[in-house]
Chain A
Amino acid sequence: MLSEDGRLLTAVWLVRERTEREARELFAGLAADLGALDVDPVLGQMARQAAADEGRHARRCRALVARFAAPAAPPAPLPPRRLQLGPPELPIARRALYASVALSCVTETLATALLLELRRRATDATVRATLHEVLRDEVDHARLGWAHLAAVARTGTAAWLAPHVPAMLRAALGGQIAPVDGGAPDPDLSGYGLLPHAEVFRVVRAVAAEVLFPGLERFGIDTAEARASLPS
């Protein structure tokens, strides 16, 4: 596929590959922090499993990069970014909770909803199989965060996270939290795992309103600021 669509799909799956690699490192870091804390060991196991899953997802993305780039040679993986989750001065227990909420509650919850929609629309068999595999794991990755948050809220407080949630949302959405107006309409590549931007925004708004924000509030995190950060 050498068309413009092919180039776009190559670029998208290339970015997804990098995202998966970054998630692998972040979950590995979270697993290490959880291992040093007096928390349910299941949480650490879930984080280690998530790191392994993300590495596998990256390989699936690489296969699709090669497929969409063909017959040209696939581009090299994008260099990973140096990511820092949360303020660097946080003590380890808060750093771990921040990472759990940012990675799992926010990012993976949104990703699960988007993947459900993506998979529903995917027509390409390989893309659909990849989305299915990733989705199956992302459900567990999201639940890691909700598990950790629930455990903390049971004996302490997570309210301090409230002002950080907007930044978590921005990070999860790549800085784009509003629909793109004007310009040429998106090509319909949903069969290959790419939703139109407006559709992404619609899903994100819905899952934030019905799943993410109520979930955070359930565990004592005020979401007024986060809700305001998502334009209607």
Chain B
Amino acid sequence: MDLKRLFHVLVVGGSVAAGCERSRMGGLTAADAAGAQDVGMPESAAPEVPGAAEDAATSDVMSMDGAAMDLILMDAAAMDVGATADAAVATDASDGPTGNPCFCSPTRCCDLHEGAPATVQAGVHCCWGTKC
């Protein structure tokens, strides 16, 4: 059992669910990953929807809530939280630091500071053209 990855799935995944209002009811979908407007994202900040090629490239993007968890829980002889969570991270992190979760909703996943630029919350990085 890879406990670092379990931390990622439960703690980071849970905290992001709170910020991004998706939770188990849907999570980030492939369409979201491809750049569709996310919950809470202002129109002006929403990235353009990429073309078909990028759609294809991100069609297997899994949220931490749905398909990724199914993978984590699927029957496999060598099943542990590790390898499958890795897969989820790898496919999520389309344009961010390798190994970091890529959850983006500029209005929900950023810390706001009076008089100072907003910063990305711990454990999250902006991706798919979004920024705080």
Contacts and interface: CB of A to CB of B under 8 A. Distances in A.
A210 B13 CA distance: 16
Contacts of A139: 9-10, 69, 72-73
Interface in A171-223: 203, 206-207, 210-211, 214-215, 218-219
Interface in B4-30: 4, 6-7, 9-11, 13-19, 21-25
B80 interface: yes
Contacts of B114: none
Contacts of B6: 112-113, 116, 207, 210-211
Contacts of A12: none
A176 to B, nearest CB: 21
Contacts of B73: 132, 135-136, 139
Nearest to A148: B18
B9 A151 contact: no
B9 A40 contact: no
Contacts of A136: 69-70, 73
A211 B11 contact: yes
A142 B11 CA distance: 8
A147 B7 contact: no
Interface in B65-122: 65, 69-70, 72-73, 75, 79-81, 111, 121-122
B121 to A, nearest CB: 8
A143 B10 contact: yes
Contacts, number: 105
B96 to A, nearest CB: 20
B53 interface: no
A149 B15 contact: yes
Contacts of A132: 73, 75
- Give the secondary structure class of B's interface: helix
Nearest to A120: B79
B10 A146 contact: yes
Given A42-B21, A45-B23, A144 B14 contact: yes
Contact of A140 (B15, B24, B80): B24
Nearest to B4: A210
A34 B4 CA distance: 30
B3 A210 contact: yes
Interface of A: 40, 42-43, 45-46, 49, 109, 112-113, 116-117, 119-120, 132, 135-136, 139-140, 142-151, 154, 203, 206-207, 210-211, 214-215, 218-219
Interface of B: 1, 3-4, 6-7, 9-11, 13-19, 21-25, 65, 69-70, 72-73, 75, 79-81, 111, 121-123
Q: Ordered nearest first, which 8 A-B pairs have the shortest CB separation?
A: A146-B14, A150-B15, A143-B14, A210-B3, A147-B18, A215-B11, A151-B18, A147-B14
